[in-house]
Amino acid sequence: MNPEAGRSYPGAFVGIMLLLGSIVIGITLLGLGVITAAELADPGHFLAVAFDPAVASALWITFSAATVAVLLLGLVGTSLAYVLARSRNRFAGIAESLVDLPLVLPHTVAGLLVYLIFFSRGPIGSPAAGIGLLFEDAFPGIVAAMFFVASPFYINSVREGFEKVPPHLENVARTLGASPLQVFLHVTLPLSTRQIASGAALAWGRAVGEFAAVVIIAYFPMVISTLIYSRFTTGGLAEARSIAFVMILLCLCGFFTYRALIRFGGKRHDRV
Amino acid sequence: MIVCEGLCMDLQDFHLHNLDLRVGTGEYCCIMGPSGAGKTVLLECIAGLHRPSEGRILIRGKDVTAMVPEQRRISIVYQDYSLFPHLTGYENVAFGLRMQKIDPDRIRTDVISMLEKFRIAYLLDRYPSTMSGGEQQRVALARALIVQPEILLLDEAFAALDPVSRQQCMHDLRTLQQSRKLTVIHVTHAWDEAHILADRVAVIIAGKFVQHGTVQEVYARPASESVARFVGTDNVLPGRIVAHSPGLSTVDVGGIRIRACSDAPLTGNVIVCIRGAAWNVIPVPARLDSVNLVTGTLRERSRLGDLERMEVDCGTLLIAIARSTDLQKQNIQSGDPITLQVDPSDVHLIGEDKARPVGNSGTANVPGYP
């Protein structure tokens, strides 16, 4: 029996597409290879940097601020995503454009917008300062910047998830005695879990990687991007590269774990 | 039981215009109409899923127009059954009772009993994606009925079933509806469903009700040309009244004289409706005293199971349907001359306004009719 039986013929077209597409993967792999080779050449230096308290602190601030930003997005972004998914008027179109705005703005501009809103004389920063909540050079400022730049990734993904839930399911649930809140909690939300998780992961990744918007409102306490930039300008390439390698390892571990969880937990939602 | 008065509604491409509908307790009403006529929107209005822009809905005399769907005690089953894909058969059926915060022990008892009634207890732990269309339909019906609705709305609920499951489901539903005296409003395209299930039919075209009545009435005496075409009348032909005697009109249809039983004296142009199966193929030589004898040439034959659809050119193209065996006995082939005859009571005339039904008055004592 031919072992190739049942396989499709790749053909020249698919081959060309594969070649072109592999450039994207190739560049990433090349970068990872270069940095890994450099770090493995001097493991002592890498370990010293990896266990540097400043690096650990920056990692903790980065990951915790990104997590808080995503949790806040889960609270307010989910509501907006639902409204956008179920609205068909022109105001929804305007709102969608506003949601997408951080995607097209240069990150420095996004940072300036955040700064103008949250600095001590800004429309939110000023009253917040009155109750002791400061954003400039403070953890809440980092969260605000991350929230702003990550919001379109979360909201768009969740909106697509809600749009995939057929309105008929919600209609049936209403006629069976469910209130709108019950319908949302028992039908719409469970059927959108995969897109919510996917949006949260994308938003978290975006938040972790943010530099320009964060640095404008809060250079300190340093997030990992700020620390890498700072070490690059003061300590040189080797120091910045080792911190970057730590970050790469942690992010790869995080995303592989996340994908495994999604594959496991999302199986039942493939029935939708 | 349920009354819709002057319902108006605009929803994207669907528009309902001043709809009136009355369905009695325990009655089975089919709403029929072509795609895009607004049937589903009407059902969803009745269920409370859309608020009409004008008009009101009354259930047992109480105005429920502003009432939210969860309080109306109206269940709906869609064509795709809309089972919750993340819930098992049991959880789907239990959903309504859970939302109403019924005691869990009672939910279990009721759901098991309902599943057994629908002969689907084996679907307890199965997800909808693993069920056949017929099984999904039964789960959807069980889920709709377990909450004890006063009214059941069905939106083409049998359309996606295979013929065997469909017959079985229709039979089961009719039995259940009659035993429970359940009021059902059923949107469908299929006349066979209406024949089997419906006490009454309402035809909706372009957001307006154009005819109410029993299935037989609407089928045999369409009120307008559009209804005639919708119900599948094979011959919908323009004609002109040339003579009228009590109970009988003579119509000129492209040079052919056809007599029709009609109560109302008509004048001028009319639409002549004749079902293909109403034509009889007459062996030659035909009886000369027969009315509505039409001679033409058989142009085309096509099989419809045991029947054959014939296109007969008599100056005007007529569609006739006959048993294949009858044609074989008479050895009629394409291109041969053929003589057809139709009973005047099977000829239905629609006045020029195309809205006023001009009904047949039966076959008794019609002069000239053998």
Here the ipTM equals: 0.82
Cα–Cα distance between A101 and B99 in angstroms, integer?
40
Q: Is B190 exposed, middle or buried (0-12, 13-18, 19+ CB in 10 A)?
A: middle
Domain limits for position B306: 225-358
pLDDT for B148? 93
Residues A166, B82: C-beta atoms closer than 8 Å: yes
Average of per-residue pLDDT across A182-196: 94
pLDDT for B358? 36
Residues B78, A168: C-beta atoms closer than 8 Å: yes
Which helix (H) or strand (E) covers residue A66, if one does?
A: helix A53-86
Backbone angles phi, psi at A80, to 5 degrees: -65, -40
Query: Do both B296 and B256 map to the same domain?
Result: yes
Query: Do both B32 and B149 map to the same domain?
Result: yes
B337 versus A31: the higher-pLDDT residue is A31
Strands B54-59 and B2-11: antiparallel
Whether the CB of A89 is below 8 Å from some CB of chain B: the reply is: no
- Per the structure, the count of domains in chain B is 2
Whether the CB of B76 is below 8 Å from some CB of chain A: the reply is: yes
Distant-in-sequence, close-in-space partners of B134: CB < 8 Å, separation ≥ 6:
B161, B162, B165, B168, B169
- Cβ count near A216 (within 10 Å): 22
User: What is the distance in angstroms between the Cα of A190 and the nearest Cα belonging to chain B?
Assistant: 8
Domain limits for position A171: 49-271
pLDDT for B363? 24
Sort out which chain A residues have CB atoms less than 8 A from B69's CB and list them: 171, 174-175
Enumerate helices (H) and strands (E) in chain B, giving the number of each: 9, 21
| Residue at which a domain ends, from B220, B248, B279 | B220
Longest dimension (CA), chain A: 79
User: What is the distance in angstroms between the Cα of B70 and the nearest Cα belonging to chain A?
Assistant: 4
Q: Do the beta carbons of residue B19 and residue B4 sit within 8 Å? A: yes
pLDDT for A209? 93
Sort out which chain A residues have CB atoms less than 8 A from B86's CB and list them: 190-191, 268-269, 271-272
Query: Per-residue confidence of chain B (370 residues) as pLDDT tens digits?
Result: 899 999 998 887 778 888 999 999 999 999 998 888 889 999 999 999 999 999 999 999 999 999 999 999 999 999 999 999 999 999 999 999 999 999 999 999 999 999 998 889 999 999 999 999 889 999 999 999 999 999 999 999 888 888 888 888 888 889 889 998 999 999 998 888 898 999 999 999 888 899 999 998 898 889 889 899 988 899 999 999 888 888 888 999 988 889 998 776 677 889 999 999 999 888 765 555 678 888 888 888 888 888 889 999 988 899 999 888 877 777 788 888 888 889 999 999 988 765 343 333 322 222 222 2
| Residue at which a domain ends, from B201, B220, B239 | B220
Tell me: the pLDDT tens digits for A199-230? 999 999 999 999 999 999 999 999 999 999 99
Query: Do both B193 and B82 map to the same domain?
Result: yes
Backbone angles phi, psi at B275, to 5 degrees: -75, 145
Query: Do both B109 and B10 map to the same domain?
Result: yes
pLDDT for A3? 64
User: What is the distance in angstroms between the Cα of B2 and the nearest Cα belonging to chain A?
Assistant: 16
pLDDT for A8? 67
Kindly report the CATH number assigned to the domain that includes residue B336: 2.40.50.100
- Per the structure, the count of domains in chain A is 1
Strands B151-155 and B183-188: parallel
Kindly report the CATH number assigned to the domain that includes residue A86: 1.10.3720.10
Q: Which of A168, A191, A271 sits opposite B127 (nearest CB)?
A: A271
Tell me: the pLDDT tens digits for A69-87? 999 999 999 999 999 999 8
In a domain, A27, yes or no: no
Chain A residue closest to B88 (CA)? A268
Q: Do the beta carbons of residue B271 and residue B228 sit within 8 Å? A: yes
| Residue at which a domain ends, from B200, B220, B240 | B220
Query: Do both B120 and B77 map to the same domain?
Result: yes
In a domain, B370, yes or no: no
Query: Do both B283 and B171 map to the same domain?
Result: no
Cα–Cα distance between B370 and B362 in angstroms, integer?
14
Query: Do both B233 and B214 map to the same domain?
Result: no
Question: Which of B42, B75, B79, B82 should we substitute to test contact with A (largest number of A Cβ atoms within 10 Å)?
Answer: B82
Whether the CB of B28 is below 8 Å from some CB of chain A: the reply is: no
Query: Do both B23 and B100 map to the same domain?
Result: yes
Whether the CB of B14 is below 8 Å from some CB of chain A: the reply is: no
Cα–Cα distance between A107 and B214 in angstroms, integer?
69
Q: Which residues pair with residue B298 across a beta bridge?
A: B312
Residues A269, B144: C-beta atoms closer than 8 Å: no
Whether the CB of B364 is below 8 Å from some CB of chain A: the reply is: no
Q: Do the beta carbons of residue B125 and residue B88 sit within 8 Å? A: yes
In a domain, B130, yes or no: yes
Residues A186, B99: C-beta atoms closer than 8 Å: yes
Nearest to B52 by CA among B1, B18, B3, B75: B18
Whether the CB of A173 is below 8 Å from some CB of chain B: the reply is: yes
Sort out which chain A residues have CB atoms less than 8 A from B149's CB and list them: 175
Cα–Cα distance between B22 and B57 in angstroms, integer?
10
Tell me: the pLDDT tens digits for A93-124? 899 999 999 999 999 999 999 999 999 999 99
Query: Do both B207 and B302 map to the same domain?
Result: no
Query: Do both B171 and B244 map to the same domain?
Result: no
Query: Do both B205 and B322 map to the same domain?
Result: no
Sort out which chain B residues have CB atoms less than 8 A from A173's CB and list them: 84, 95, 99
pLDDT for A268? 54
Whether the CB of A174 is below 8 Å from some CB of chain B: the reply is: yes
In a domain, B369, yes or no: no
pLDDT for A6? 61
8-state DSSP, A182: H
Backbone angles phi, psi at B254, to 5 degrees: 55, 40
Whether the CB of A267 is below 8 Å from some CB of chain B: the reply is: no
Cα–Cα distance between B72 and B57 in angstroms, integer?
11
Calculate the alpha carbon distances from B36 to B42, B273, B279 in Å.
Answer: 11, 25, 33
Q: At what angle do helices A43-50 and A237-265 cross, to 10 degrees?
A: 70
Kindly report the CATH number assigned to the domain that includes residue B110: 3.40.50.300
Query: Do both B201 and B244 map to the same domain?
Result: no
